[in-house]
Amino acid sequence: MRILIANRGEIARRVLRTAHRLGHETVAAYADPDAGAPFVEEATVATRLGPSELASSYLSIEALLAAAARTGATAVHPGYGFLSENAEFARRVEQAGLTWIGPHSGALEKMGSKIAARRLADEAGLPIIPGFDASQDPAALADAAARIGYPVLVKAAAGGGGKGIRIVHHCDAFAAALAEAKSESLRSFDDDAMIVERYIQRPRHVEVQIVGDQHGNVVELGTRECSVQRRYQKMLEEAPAPNLPDVTRAGLRTSAADLARSIGYDSAGTVEFVVDAGTGSYFFLEMNTRLQVEHPVTEAITGLDLVELQIRSAAGERLPIAQEDVTFSGHAFEARINAEDPAADFAPQIGVVSALRVPLGVRWDSGVRCGSEITPHYDSMVAKLVVSGVDRPAALRRLAAALDELLIGGITTTAGFHRWLVDQPAIVAGDVTTRFLDETEIGGAPDRAEVLQAAATAWVLARSADRDTGPWGALGSFRVTQHRPSRAVFLEDGQSDVCEAAVFDADAHLGSHLVVSGAVQRRWPVEVDLGRRTIAIGAAGYTHTFRVISRSEHWAPSARAGHGAALTVVAPFPAVVTEVRVSPGDDVGAGDVVVVVEAMKMLHSLGAAGPGRVADVRVAVGDQVASKQVLVTFEDPAREA
């Protein structure tokens, strides 16, 4: 087969690896921002889809089918997200005479809508959460919410990945939450149908991996725990799910297989459940008729390649295993490393990956490499760090060690957050709900002064090694002695703060790591680029990137300082403007939404800080804006007086 991958980034590279191992050719279909991405270079053939806009590229059925035709593709693998669960796309692929590497379009149709899926699950005997989906009239949905009782969950009937979901705690907030969820769902899935259902207060998110073939065989591959979530986006997953009562675990696995058989499921998929943390009772949530982001943890404990099973099933082959052949070995974790700043409420980040060092002995599924640019056009995932061990404690220790070794320079990521996360008692005990991050104060950032001193020390060591022996990396290690005088190094960090760091005599070694002496000895990964005068240093999972500057640069005012002002609305992070709701002269009240932006496939409403009159609107729909860029200004009441 020649397989066109109707996706991008990490999952495109994942499918490429298995396809090439099996002897198949591949086609990378890319949008303009991805022209230089690794998946484009690694495919057998690459072809342009269109501009960055999803509707003209990764969400365009016409563009993808045209790409398949001109490259001679004979099959399509949709990856996950985008059109992976779109029944119309599957039908069009099959009508074009191509092989669809996924479940048959009938299964996509039945499970593509959460409304239809709830009904089918109910018919198959699975417990479902009380809810309402009989009408899309806003008044009917609001009435249903009142009957169900707050808090309720408003969620998109189509798609997944946390898009189009809002928790509503009071009737006064229902209309706004419904409007936001519908808008987000329409943009993400071209469908704004909604479900209102009871919000379970202490929920765990547990899922079961299933796989089927075209001969009626269905096998379930055990459970995964996905309860560590932020804005309904999973951040840490593991397999198998820990601390489940035996009866609950057996019920989940049996229910998932029963549902898959009831619709003649014939590919890889996942049945998701809400488990009540207190009682162990469970409810059907949805079925994802595609490969999941977290599939590597199941592969780690079963030894199976789920992409291979997808390809073989699509080719008409029987599953090579029966249920009694499925065995589990050890435990596995996956940390989703995203380009987000945990210290700024996980605001999306963009930039260029200036340094990248991945620890040995881990699985690293990533769409980027050193030099890759993270743009605001698509989701924020940088990579998936996957580790396994003989048991859960061993796997968790391996994850902590891997995060300590990981170095990603040039952008802010969630790796430091994950390093903090794995030490939390609830994580260690395997006792979390989906509300864990909402109820826990996030910490873990290292002491800034210690990081500055370590970075400056690394610079002095590198310069000394370079003078003494040539390229500093060839030295292996270097010890600062008492004879080497202290000196100052001026550093500019990635957030454009200029600071002075003093280097003291220290027992430090330079190689791939810097050993920082203190009450507790720390071994931090470090990379120094003498030519670019940059330092990337890892500390507790956080990677700090510094530029060494001259004394004159240090004293010069920063050209990038002073973004924003009073009486303005500014962009909280790099984004694309999707809606402008005001014009000059409009009067607004405190909290009124004036601009809506999209970053990493999520919508964010920006409101006025107080009442006022709009003076100037500096952006239009479609504009790409930078962090702290002024979007709307207001008249100064004092000036009017």
* pLDDT tens for each residue of 13-42: 999 999 999 999 999 999 999 999 999 999
Question: What per-residue confidence (pLDDT) applies to 502?
Answer: 60
Give the model confidence (pLDDT) of 435-447 as tens digits: 999 899 888 788 8
Rounded to two decimals, what is the model's pTM?
Answer: 0.81
The whole domain housing 161 covers 132-198
Which residue from 99, 297, 278, 305 is spatially nearest to 208, judged by alpha carbons? 297
Confidence category of residue 508, pLDDT binned at 50, 70, 90? low
3-state secondary structure of 637: helix
- In a shared domain, residues 233 and 335: yes
- In a shared domain, residues 341 and 417: yes
CATH number of residue 188's parent domain = 3.30.1490.20
- In a shared domain, residues 498 and 548: yes
Give the model confidence (pLDDT) of 474-497 as tens digits: 333 334 444 444 567 777 775 445
Question: What per-residue confidence (pLDDT) applies to 113?
Answer: 80
Residue % of the chain over a pLDDT of 90: 64
Count Cα neighbours of 539 within 13 Å in the Cβ-side half-sphere: 22
- In a shared domain, residues 577 and 604: yes
3-state secondary structure of 107: helix
What is the distance between the alpha carbons of residues 266 and 269, in angstroms, rounded to a whole number?
9
State the DSSP string of 228-256: EEETTEEEEEEESPSS--HHHHHHHHHHH
Tell me, what DSSP letter sits at residue 324? G
Lowest mean pLDDT among 41-45, 249-253, 266-270, 439-443: 439-443
322 has a pLDDT exceeding 50: yes
In-domain check, residue 252: yes
Question: What per-residue confidence (pLDDT) applies to 99?
Answer: 98
What is the distance between the alpha carbons of residues 356 and 525, in angstroms, rounded to a whole number?
11
Question: What per-residue confidence (pLDDT) applies to 557?
Answer: 38
Count Cα neighbours of 625 within 13 Å in the Cβ-side half-sphere: 29
- In a shared domain, residues 391 and 460: no
In-domain check, residue 30: yes
Lowest mean pLDDT among 128-137, 322-331, 364-373, 498-507: 498-507
473 has a pLDDT exceeding 50: no
In-domain check, residue 69: yes
640 has a pLDDT exceeding 60: no
- In a shared domain, residues 349 and 465: no
What is the distance between the alpha carbons of residues 228 and 236, in angstroms, rounded to a whole number?
6
- In a shared domain, residues 331 and 469: no
- In a shared domain, residues 221 and 362: yes
Q: Examine the fold and report which residue of 525, 555, 585 is the final residue of a domain before the chain moves on.
A: 555
51 has a pLDDT exceeding 60: yes
Q: Do 578 and 598 meet the contact criterion of CB atoms below 8 Å apart?
A: yes
Q: Examine the fold and report which residue of 532, 555, 578 is the final residue of a domain before the chain moves on.
A: 555
CATH number of residue 488's parent domain = 3.30.700.40
Q: Do 311 and 24 meet the contact criterion of CB atoms below 8 Å apart?
A: yes
Q: Examine the fold and report which residue of 508, 527, 555 is the final residue of a domain before the chain moves on.
A: 555
Q: Residues near 546 by Cβ (< 8 Å), separated by ≥ 6? A: 455, 491, 492, 493, 494, 534, 535, 536, 537
Give the model confidence (pLDDT) of 113-158 as tens digits: 878 898 999 999 999 988 898 899 999 999 999 999 999 999 998 8
Confidence category of residue 453, pLDDT binned at 50, 70, 90? confident
- In a shared domain, residues 244 and 312: yes
Percent helix / strand / coil, the chain, rounded to 5: 30, 30, 40
Question: What per-residue confidence (pLDDT) applies to 160?
Answer: 66
Average pLDDT over residues 570-593: 89
Q: Residues near 485 by Cβ (< 8 Å), separated by ≥ 6? A: none
Give the model confidence (pLDDT) of 560-569 as tens digits: 333 334 478 9
Which span out of 133-137, 313-317, 408-412 was modeled with the highest average pLDDT? 313-317
What is the distance between the alpha carbons of residues 436 and 439, in angstroms, rounded to a whole number?
5
- In a shared domain, residues 232 and 370: yes
Q: Residues near 292 by Cβ (< 8 Å), separated by ≥ 6? A: 80, 207, 209, 270
Q: Do 418 and 235 meet the contact criterion of CB atoms below 8 Å apart?
A: yes
The residues pairing with 536 across neighbouring beta strands, listed in sequence order, are 527, 545
In-domain check, residue 335: yes
Which residue from 307, 274, 267 is spatially nearest to 288, judged by alpha carbons? 267
559 has a pLDDT exceeding 50: no
Give the model confidence (pLDDT) of 147-196 as tens digits: 999 999 999 988 666 788 899 999 999 999 999 999 888 887 888 999 99
- In a shared domain, residues 245 and 354: yes
The mean of the pLDDT values for the chain is: 88
Q: 590 exposed, middle or buried (CB, 10 Å; 0-12, 13-18, 19+)?
A: exposed
343 has a pLDDT exceeding 90: no
Q: Do 575 and 619 meet the contact criterion of CB atoms below 8 Å apart?
A: no
Question: What per-residue confidence (pLDDT) applies to 206?
Answer: 98
Lowest mean pLDDT among 70-74, 288-292, 475-479: 475-479
Q: Do 457 and 506 meet the contact criterion of CB atoms below 8 Å apart?
A: yes
CATH number of residue 249's parent domain = 3.30.470.20
In-domain check, residue 622: yes
In-domain check, residue 404: yes
**Alpha helical stretches, state H, 72-197:** 87-95, 105-112, 114-123, 138-148, 174-189
Going 456 to 462 to 465 to 466, the CA torsion angle's sign is negative
Question: In total, how many domains does the chain have?
Answer: 5
In-domain check, residue 113: no
CATH number of residue 600's parent domain = 2.40.50.100
Question: What per-residue confidence (pLDDT) applies to 275?
Answer: 96
Q: Is the peptide bond before 127 cis (omega within 30 degrees of 0)?
A: no
CATH number of residue 43's parent domain = 3.40.50.20
- In a shared domain, residues 296 and 150: no
In-domain check, residue 26: yes
Question: What per-residue confidence (pLDDT) applies to 480?
Answer: 41
What is the distance between the alpha carbons of residues 145 and 283, in angstroms, rounded to a whole number?
19
Going 244 to 245 to 251 to 257, the CA torsion angle's sign is positive
